[in-house]
Amino acid sequence: MKHSLITACIGALAATAALAATPADSRFASWPAYSADDLELRVDASGTHFTLWSPEAQAAQVLLYPTDRNSLPDDTLSMTRAGSGTWRASVPAQLYGKYYTFRILHDGTWLAETPGVWAKAVGTNGRRAAIIDLSATNPEGWETDRGPAIGSITDAVIYEMHHRDMSVHPTSGIVNKGKFLALTEHGTRTPDGEATGIDHLKELGVTHVHILPSYDYNSVDEANLAANGYNWGYDPQNYNAPEGSYSTNPADPAARIVEMKRMVKALHDAGIGVIMDVVYNHTAENDGSNFSFTAPGYYYRHNPDGSYSDASGCGNETASERRQMSDFIVNSVKYWAKEYHIDGFRFDLMAIHDTATMDRVAAELKAINPSIFVYGEGWTAGASPLPAEQRALKENVASMHGIAVFSDDIRDAVKGHYSNAADRGFATGKPGNEETVKIGIVGSTAHPQVDYSKGNNSKFPYATSPAQIINYVSCHDDLMLTDKLAASMPGSTPEERMRAARLAQTIVFTSQGTPFMWCGEEIFRDKKGVHNSYKSPDSINAIDWSLKHANRGQFDYYRELIALRKAHPAFRMTDAAEVARNIVFDKTTEPNLISYSIRNHANGDEWAEIKIVFNGSSEPVQVKVPRADWTVIAADGELSASGLGTSRGGKLQVAPVSALILAR
Ligand code: CA
């Protein structure tokens, strides 16, 4: 499983072929769909019922096992052809504790066994599905468990994290290292007494954690956890069961479910929502996937020669434009929202999916819980047969409903291009990025003072609301900000790089849209310069929590920055017309200088006006600020949400590589 291309932005690619011209795919259009919630397994008073969707199978069987591996089947059930492309078999007993697989006869050959595509509980390495009573997996108080209610995605502050990064280092003081349960531990401390884990998240003030893939993925051997295998998890195997290596016992199918729910409950009790990273765009295996073993060919797009098309850069791409696949995605996220109380979904390589499916995803999730939100990568990692106008590209975000996309505009303009380690950006002194940073400030919406023709990545205001935009300068992909600054600022001191990080994140957190950050940046951890650490060992990926004490000032700056944003709705406008009216840029001619105001008590803010000046150059700059009684919020690399002091305005000096923020 390679991860060299996936999730790296290479922008929109032109459509290469119309789907109708793909002989391998045209036949699937006539296949019936079946998406009732009894798919694959239902246990009720009358017994245990299996329903497999496989329209072209010549025969189908269920194999029942006493254990999750290393055993022969107790029984083999022949399935009977039923309606809408399904096969059915039943046993007049509740088979709790048993395991099962399906297999189908395809073109005269019995394919390998598969737990199906809808296994909600699995044993070790996800090879067999388990029959368990899901209602027995709920933690105490689950009935009344709720995530944080938010009015708009722009009210969220998103913290992207990996379970192992967060807890596996000895300095975390956490017992359940690398496990779902890590975030259920309160009172964990570093040797210096700094809070870690869930207490750290509360102290920082983020509203949501975005957990890297936590469904069952392929690459870490759950039978050998002592090997401490690491993977980001962008290699999906079972979409509807949690990953076993994050549980304390992968051989117990209930353990991973119980423990993930306990993590969600603990975060909800702390007022923090949980966003899942979902990767429906491809599977780890091609012919060997659960999709291929149940309905060969159907779930994937193909090239005209019948080979797998590969917009994921990982060997295949799924076909959301087909009804059964579209339903699969929609029903899968609905399942996670209902069964696990998940508060948001981040779609990997979302532009592999069609806009109609993404609209269904957002609408059906909002019907479950209006606070749920959906965002994704509005690009692919390779050419796709899906016509560009149907793809959930960032350029198409305005035609979708309730979907947000990552802004690679602000990302690359602030810190330098993601693919060129040495390249600098606005915050590190490279001129020419000013207009693209402004595109970020207005959340990629139309603004009379922003000239999109000068944008580095985007040439038109593709968003019609800031709620369609996720702003960031760093994520799990590519060099994290700390390493990017080290690579692009040779000869610099750590203090100079920390100052640049403060400016970069101040731009992100004060911009219109939703701010997003990668775990550990707030204590200035790094990944030793490894840009694609998807399978790097813990020595690269784990957060050394002793840095929190060493870099306490950096942490305090981030905490205050988050507090500032949460206290002031002016940074969280949802209406593009309001952004255009309330944000006024000052005329500046110096490179790496942006000065603007947010006026008119924007979005109901207590502040009449917020003056924000970013100086990304290595020289101090003088700006003229109207005479008034200002509160100084940020100056010379320091920031306090409640104010650093006061100013009467007039001619003010903005220190190199810093933000000046005044409010009145
Ligand atoms: Ca797994």
Contacts of 662 (CB under 8 A, 6+ apart): 610, 611, 625, 630, 631, 632, 633, 647, 649
Tokens 């069964």 belong to 339
What is the Cα–Cα distance from 189 to 184, expressed in whole angstroms?
A: 14
Tokens of 175: 């017992």
Tokens 């309160």 belong to 186
Residue 541, phi-psi category: left (phi > 0), alpha (psi -120 to 50), beta (remainder): alpha
Q: Which of 368, 355, 345 is nearest to 395 (CA)?
A: 355
Give the pLDDT of residue 14.
35
Are residues 639 and 564 in contact, defined by beta-carbon separation less than 8 angstroms? yes
What is the Cα–Cα distance from 184 to 309, expressed in whole angstroms?
A: 42
What is the Cα–Cα distance from 459 to 455, expressed in whole angstroms?
A: 6
Contacts of 602 (CB under 8 A, 6+ apart): 569, 570, 573, 578, 582, 583, 610
How far, in Å, from the CA of 260 to the mean position of ligand 1? 14
How far, in Å, from the CA of 98 to the mean position of ligand 1? 19
Residue 638 CB neighbours (<10 A): 17
Give the pLDDT of residue 48.
98
Q: Which residues are catalytic?
A: 348, 377
CA dihedral (351, 476, 176, 244) in degrees, to 10, reads: 30
How far, in Å, from the CA of 237 to the mean position of ligand 1? 7
How far, in Å, from the CA of 516 to the mean position of ligand 1? 27
How far, in Å, from the CA of 285 to the mean position of ligand 1? 13
Query: 24 pLDDT band (50/70/90 cuts)?
Result: confident
Q: Residue 196 CA to chain centroid, in angstroms?
A: 22
Three-state SS for 22-85 is: CHHHHHHHHCCCCCCCCCCCEEECCEEEEEEECCCCCEEEEEEECCCCCCCCCEEEECEECCCC
Give the pLDDT of residue 25.
87
What is the Cα–Cα distance from 166 to 183, expressed in whole angstroms?
A: 9
Residue 121, phi-psi category: left (phi > 0), alpha (psi -120 to 50), beta (remainder): beta
Instruction: Give the model confidence (pLDDT) of 144-196 as tens digits.
Output: 999 999 999 999 999 999 999 999 999 999 999 999 999 999 999 999 999 99
Residue 271 CB neighbours (<10 A): 12
Are residues 423 and 411 in contact, defined by beta-carbon separation less than 8 angstroms? no
How far, in Å, from the CA of 242 to the mean position of ligand 1? 8
Angle at CA 156, nearest 5°, toward 151 and 160?
A: 150
How far, in Å, from the CA of 245 to the mean position of ligand 1? 6
Instruction: Give the model confidence (pLDDT) of 393-440 as tens digits.
Output: 999 999 999 999 999 999 999 999 999 999 999 999 999 999 999 999
Q: What is the DSSP letter of 350?
A: G
Q: H or E segment at 480?
A: none
Tokens of 609: 């006006």
What is the Cα–Cα distance from 440 to 466, expressed in whole angstroms?
A: 10
Please name every residue paired with 518 in a beta bridge, in sequence order, or none if there are none.
160
pLDDT above 60 for 2: no
Tokens of 266: 């603990």
How far, in Å, from the CA of 126 to the mean position of ligand 1? 6
Angle at CA 522, nearest 5°, toward 476 and 498?
A: 100
Are residues 152 and 344 in contact, defined by beta-carbon separation less than 8 angstroms? no
Tokens of 532: 């694609």
How far, in Å, from the CA of 277 to the mean position of ligand 1? 15
Instruction: Give the model confidence (pLDDT) of 280-306 as tens digits.
Output: 999 999 999 999 999 999 999 999 999
Q: H or E segment at 245?
A: none
Give the pLDDT of residue 23.
65
Phi, psi of 442 (to 5 degrees): -95, 15
How far, in Å, from the CA of 541 to the mean position of ligand 1? 19
Q: Which of 380, 280, 286 is nearest to 330 (CA)?
A: 280
What is the Cα–Cα distance from 114 to 288, expressed in whole angstroms?
A: 9
How far, in Å, from the CA of 218 to the mean position of ligand 1? 5
pLDDT above 70 for 18: no
Are residues 422 and 431 in contact, defined by beta-carbon separation less than 8 angstroms? no
What is the Cα–Cα distance from 406 to 396, expressed in whole angstroms?
A: 13
Q: Which of 54, 131, 40 is nearest to 89 (CA)?
A: 40
Q: Residue 241 CA to chain centroid, in angstroms?
A: 18
DSSP letters along 579-608, please? HHHHEEEPP--STTEEEEEE-TTGGG-S-S
Are residues 586 and 611 in contact, defined by beta-carbon separation less than 8 angstroms? no
pLDDT above 80 for 12: no
Instruction: Give the model confidence (pLDDT) of 216-239 as tens digits.
Output: 999 999 999 999 999 999 999 999
- 3 state DSSP class of 93: coil
Please name every residue paired with 159 in a beta bridge, in sequence order, or none if there are none.
209, 517
Query: 546 pLDDT band (50/70/90 cuts)?
Result: very high
- 3 state DSSP class of 339: helix
- 3 state DSSP class of 300: strand
* Region 250-258 average pLDDT: 98
Are residues 48 and 447 in contact, defined by beta-carbon separation less than 8 angstroms? no
Please name every residue paired with 209 in a beta bridge, in sequence order, or none if there are none.
159, 274
Are residues 128 and 115 in contact, defined by beta-carbon separation less than 8 angstroms? yes
Average pLDDT over the chain, rounded to an integer: 96
Give the pLDDT of residue 7.
39
Residue 649, phi-psi category: left (phi > 0), alpha (psi -120 to 50), beta (remainder): left
**CA end-to-end distance (rounded Å), the chain:** 54
In what order do the strands lie in the sheet containing 47-53? 42-44, 47-53, 86-91, 80-81
DSSP letters along 172-204, please? G--SSTTSGGGGG--S-B-TTS-B-HHHHHHHH
Are residues 46 and 54 in contact, defined by beta-carbon separation less than 8 angstroms? no
Instruction: Give the model confidence (pLDDT) of 574-606 as tens digits.
Output: 999 999 999 999 999 999 999 999 999 999 999
pLDDT above 90 for 210: yes
**pTM of the prediction?**
0.96
How far, in Å, from the CA of 244 to the mean position of ligand 1? 5
Give the pLDDT of residue 22.
64
pLDDT above 60 for 279: yes
pLDDT above 60 for 308: yes
What is the Cα–Cα distance from 216 to 238, expressed in whole angstroms?
A: 5
Tokens of 603: 């979005």
Are residues 335 and 240 in contact, defined by beta-carbon separation less than 8 angstroms? yes
Phi, psi of 60 (to 5 degrees): -145, 150
Three-state SS for 460-478 is: CCCCCCHHHEEECCCCCCC
